[in-house]
Structure 1
Amino acid sequence: MPDLKEEEEERSPISSSEDSNAETENGLGFQPIKATPTDTPMAKVNTGASLTNTLMRTRSTNGFGCDDPVNTCDGTGGDIEAQRADEKDPFEVRFDGGDSDPMCPRSMAHGRKWLIVIIVSASSFCVTCASSMYTSTYAQLEKEFNCSREVVTLGLSMFILGLGLGPMLLGPLSFFDGLSGSAFLSVAGGTVGDMFNREQLQAPMLIYTASPFIGPSFGPLISGFINQYTYWRWTFYVMIIWSACNLGLIFFLVPETYHPVVLKAKARKIRKETGDDRWYAPIERLNKSIPKTIGYSLLRPGQLLIFEPMCLNLCIFSAILLGILYLFFGAFPLVFHGNHGFQLWQTGLAFIGLFIGMMFAAATDPFWHKNYVRLVKQREQVTGEIGGSEPEYRLPPAILGAVLVPVGLFIFAWTTYPSVHWIAPIIGSGIFGMGTLLVFTGIFTFLVDAYPLYAASSLAANSFIRSSFGAIFPLFGIQMYHKLGDQWATSLLAFLTVVMTPFPYIFFKYGKQIRGRSRFATA
């Protein structure tokens, strides 16, 4: 396992500069989407590029994309004179005219790009929706296999844990990543970044980013009807059919969009047409060690959680929220069936409050974007730096969400009496859902901006902690509700979120000073 000293020695001086947004992972640069106010496009000429330039990969809140190469392949910076000589190599294949090159994914027709966004977003939605669809099969599974609720809940826990471990272990391995459902949560976001430039990215990235978080709240709406009127196996048949449809759409309609791979295909085409084997793509000159890449992908998230209080606190906050969300899949039947006599399909419909709350939160994104622009302009007036920004400007959605979350939980807690109309706790769950998505949005974008050199690792750390909590909370949720009652069990969850509520504001107010003392965050 590589140590920190070795890691720092292998990072090139170029990638360590203030202008670099890349996280160097075994010679591969990882640059977060929308992490800084400036964006470096793909190179726009065929010549003048360094042979030692490596590839950039951009990671959204859920995936990878591609950007302009800036670092060296070996991560060491290489010999300066050799680099200067290499910069005049005319045989490195690049996109002619940048984004206007016919082979560049960003030159696709607008309608085709949006079709691809819809397909990958629907696939991501399907993956997380499947996790909650399973929860409606509990009663039938217990009866057929004569097992306890804890045993059937393990199916949900293992699924969620896999979603958290998948990106950490499989992120560097594109081939194996495609074999896992977590692929859509770790690489598909890059497809969106590959097709749209910074000015066009907000709307498609919003759709993709929101889809995996809205998915769990939609699953019970479907599976409640399935398990009410059919056999439990039909829940899985529906998921298989749905996944197969997504697979077919991806196979026939979604092309390769990762820029280095597209350039590799272009180089292969040029070599075939000219018969000159000197033409090459940058990716063909990489010599990366897979074990070492995996080692870094596992080591760095742990370092961030240990040494970075901002990363640790925000990861724990988002983890608590996801844990509560998945705990609700066991709590809702107790509340709505036990107190209001809901049938299974009606209990599934009760999740519509969460779904609507998250959809409403997603719809507020234009407002938060305007607020971000306002903060940037204020900074310009104070510092005179045009386009400059601070990572803390991403936190206002999380500040509001941190307030809405306990409010929604307390409303849910103290309206779960049989004498209170069932719409009241559903409204509370909707407020909780809105706050949850706002917190997720603010935290993810802040982590990407605050740790530009380590954005991939910060998001992997967040994914692991979130999924761990999401896997554990459902295992004790039912017992807690039976022991404490609906009101105090939910209130206990609300008090957990109250403890975490100040942190987004604290980091918004004092984050710059904290980053100044950080060994990983940008100063």
Structure 2
Amino acid sequence: MAIGKKWLIVLVISSSALCVTCASSIASFSETGIAQSFHVSREVTILSISLFVEGLGIGPLLVGPLSEVYGRNIVYRVSYLLFFAFTWPIVFAPNIAVFLVFRFITGFCGSAFLSVAGGSVSDLFDNRSVANPMAVYTMSPFIGPVLGPLVSGFINQNVNWRWTYRVLIMWIFVQTFALYILVPETYEPVLTKRKAARLRKSTGDQNYYAPLDKKDVSVWKSIEVSCYKPFQLLLYDRMALLLDTWNALILGILYLAFQAFPFIFEDNHGFSPEFTGLTFLGIGIGMFNALATQSFWNSLFARKAAEYGDHPPPEIRLIMGQVGGVLAPISLFWLAFTTYPHVHWIVPIIASVPFGTAIYFIYTSTFTYLVTAYRPIAASAMASNSFLRSAFAAVFPLFATPMYNRLGTVGATALLAGLTALMAPLPFIFYRIGGRLREKSPFAA
């Protein structure tokens, strides 16, 4: 397959993941309109984000095993078609119950792109060339939550809140069409199985079999394992639990920002919703800055790997996480102490840029480390990370308003910065002792 075709597939998959996570946060500035339409409190409308994100966390437990039996492509197409279909009841929801139920369902349907899509990238590129396309894919789900408030702010400033989801439906339709037209199956065992079936049919020789044909694969057994193995990992492996908790805290803070930024910029600086949405650009710029450093990290990891020969320890991937671990609390403390009304509004936006950079560094390093260190159960390692991240991202927005009302913008943001500072030593500690911990772990390679 030509390199241009491979990159086109990666970009379609990445934009599909971007659309899914953008849908999670696009509800942020529609909350006031929803509260007025359905006569509920604004706290209830925050559930539209929480339930969607919870669906994103639970979905991988199901779609991961299905992709290993039926292939990645059918999972993409069916999940996105359902994502498209179930967004319609959100647009025309007659009451808050219907609205919230289908927000959870659409989150569940879109979750394939947070669990399966990384496998497609690794299918297309070998180990020497996978770093850059994987970096593009890794960043796309985290750009989505930043893009959502920006889009939502402009829509809800000018038209009815239902247009938020009408615009989303148009985007989902385009992505669904692109997935059907441009993305082929990439999972080698399924491709081999299809080739064997064609040979049996064309030659009449029934002795053509693929490994997947001979393998006694039970879908339900695979789903059962995928449902308990991630939690088993969290319960019995402290290193995985701590790294997943660190990741979850970072994503929880990102989703809490959808409630916190209106306090900082609308209350303190008099911004309108559309301009408050634009303030998330600082985090987005930080992510793109981090992506631009990927070639540096590739060369650094190559040099480190050369020092160890054929089997470099996965801990070298945590070097990037060390930088992210330091940047996150620095950025949040800087943000906290520049939220005063007399400080120019551009300063807290600039302060959020290193946080965006930290998000990219932390997730890229942790994801790569988990997949490498827990290679025998890599899918379960990523599923446990996804579930815990989604749980934090679902819960954090719910207590954001009371926390910012009680502590103020300075105290609340400084509290979050302090939590990230407590977690910052983790990549340094595991860089030094990760090898010893893996030797004692029943799960790690």
Normalized against structure 2, the TM-score is what? 0.89
The 1-side partners of 2:378 and 2:126 are apart by 19
1:150 aligns with 2:79: no
Whose helix proportion is higher, 1 or 2? 2
Partner SS state of residue 342, structure 1: coil
Q: Give the structure 2 partner of residue 32 of structure 1.
A: none
Cα distance, 1:273 vs structure 2: 2.2
Which of 345, 370, 378 in structure 2 is aligned with 1:455? 378
Which of 98, 108, 118 in structure 2 is aligned with 1:189? 118
> Alpha-carbon deviations, 1:293-336, whole Å to 9, x = none?
12211221112111111101111001000000000001111110
Give 2:43's aligned amino acid: E
Give 1:280's aligned amino acid: Y
The 2-side partners of 1:427 and 1:409 are apart by 11
Q: Give the structure 1 partner of residue 341 of structure 2.
A: 418
Q: Give the structure 2 partner of residue 221 of structure 1.
A: 150
Partner SS state of residue 199, structure 1: coil
Q: Give the structure 2 partner of residue 490 of structure 1.
A: 413
Cα distance, 1:269 vs structure 2: 2.0
The 2-side partners of 1:112 and 1:253 are apart by 9
The 1-side partners of 2:296 and 2:351 are apart by 23
Which of 310, 325, 335 in structure 1 is aligned with 2:239? 310
The 1-side partners of 2:217 and 2:208 are apart by 21
> Alpha-carbon deviations, 1:95-127, whole Å to 9, x = none?
xxxxxxxxxxxxx12222211111111101110
> Alpha-carbon deviations, 1:458-512, whole Å to 9, x = none?
1111111100000000000011000110000001111111111111100011111
Cα distance, 1:378 vs structure 2: 2.7
The 2-side partners of 1:278 and 1:517 are apart by 44
Q: Give the structure 2 partner of residue 392 of structure 1.
A: 315
The 1-side partners of 2:75 and 2:301 are apart by 38
Which of 32, 38, 50 in structure 2 is aligned with 1:139? 32
Which of 191, 196, 203 in structure 2 is aligned with 1:274? 203
Instruction: Select between 346-355 and 304-313 the one with higher mean Cα deviation.
Output: 304-313
Give 1:173's aligned amino acid: L
Equivalence map 1:85-104=2 (5 Å)? none
Question: Does the CA-based 8 Å contact 2:65-2:222 persist in structure 1?
Answer: yes
> Alpha-carbon deviations, 1:178-209, whole Å to 9, x = none?
42211111112222222222222122111111
Name segments (4+ residues, structure 1) moved above 3 Å.
174-178
Cα distance, 1:400 vs structure 2: 0.7
Equivalence map 1:65-464=2 (5 Å)? 108-174=1-67, 178-179=78-79, 180-379=109-308, 386-464=309-387
Question: Does the CA-based 8 Å contact 2:58-2:387 persist in structure 1?
Answer: yes
Give 2:353's aligned amino acid: G
Partner SS state of residue 441, structure 2: coil
> Alpha-carbon deviations, 1:55-79, whole Å to 9, x = none?
xxxxxxxxxxxxxxxxxxxxxxxxx
Give 1:435's aligned amino acid: A
The 2-side partners of 1:388 and 1:263 are apart by 29
The 2-side partners of 1:503 and 1:206 are apart by 22
The 1-side partners of 2:444 and 2:46 are apart by 38
Question: Does the CA-based 8 Å contact 2:289-2:357 persist in structure 1?
Answer: yes
Which of 398, 402, 426 in structure 2 is aligned with 1:475? 398
The 2-side partners of 1:377 and 1:289 are apart by 41
Give 1:429's aligned amino acid: S
The 1-side partners of 2:23 and 2:195 are apart by 38
The 2-side partners of 1:463 and 1:479 are apart by 27
Give 2:243's aligned amino acid: L
Question: Does the CA-based 8 Å contact 2:64-2:379 persist in structure 1?
Answer: no
Partner SS state of residue 482, structure 1: helix
The 2-side partners of 1:444 and 1:235 are apart by 32
Q: CA RMSD in A?
A: 1.4
The 2-side partners of 1:351 and 1:317 are apart by 22
Q: Give the structure 2 partner of residue 54 of structure 1.
A: none
The 2-side partners of 1:215 and 1:422 are apart by 23
Instruction: Select between 337-346 and 139-148 the one with higher mean Cα deviation.
Output: 139-148
The 2-side partners of 1:357 and 1:173 are apart by 35
Partner SS state of residue 26, structure 2: helix
The 1-side partners of 2:389 and 2:411 are apart by 24
Cα distance, 1:176 vs structure 2: 6.3
Structure 1 residues 378, 279: CA separation in 2 closer, same or farther (over 3 Å shift)? closer
> Alpha-carbon deviations, 1:417-441, whole Å to 9, x = none?
1100001111111111111221111
Give 1:450's aligned amino acid: A
The 2-side partners of 1:147 and 1:345 are apart by 23
Partner SS state of residue 321, structure 2: helix
Partner SS state of residue 419, structure 1: coil
Question: Does the CA-based 8 Å contact 2:230-2:381 persist in structure 1?
Answer: yes
Q: Give the structure 1 partner of residue 95 of structure 2.
A: none
Cα distance, 1:352 vs structure 2: 0.3
Q: Give the structure 1 partner of residue 435 of structure 2.
A: 512
The 2-side partners of 1:460 and 1:488 are apart by 34
The 2-side partners of 1:305 and 1:260 are apart by 29
The 1-side partners of 2:407 and 2:171 are apart by 39
Q: Structure 2: where are the runs of 5+ without partners?
A: 68-73, 80-108
The 2-side partners of 1:268 and 1:450 are apart by 36
Cα distance, 1:128 vs structure 2: 0.4
Query: In percent, how many aligned pairs have the same letter?
Result: 49
Partner SS state of residue 27, structure 2: helix
The 2-side partners of 1:517 and 1:282 are apart by 33
Normalized against structure 1, the TM-score is what? 0.76
Q: Structure 1: where are the runs of 5+ without partners?
A: 1-107, 380-385
Question: Does the CA-based 8 Å contact 2:135-2:364 persist in structure 1?
Answer: no
Instruction: Select between 348-357 and 174-183 the one with higher mean Cα deviation.
Output: 174-183
Partner SS state of residue 402, structure 2: helix
> Alpha-carbon deviations, 1:249-280, whole Å to 9, x = none?
11112112221221222122222221222212
Q: Give the structure 2 partner of residue 8 of structure 1.
A: none
Cα distance, 1:389 vs structure 2: 0.2
Give 1:448's aligned amino acid: V
Instruction: Select between 281-290 and 334-343 the one with higher mean Cα deviation.
Output: 281-290
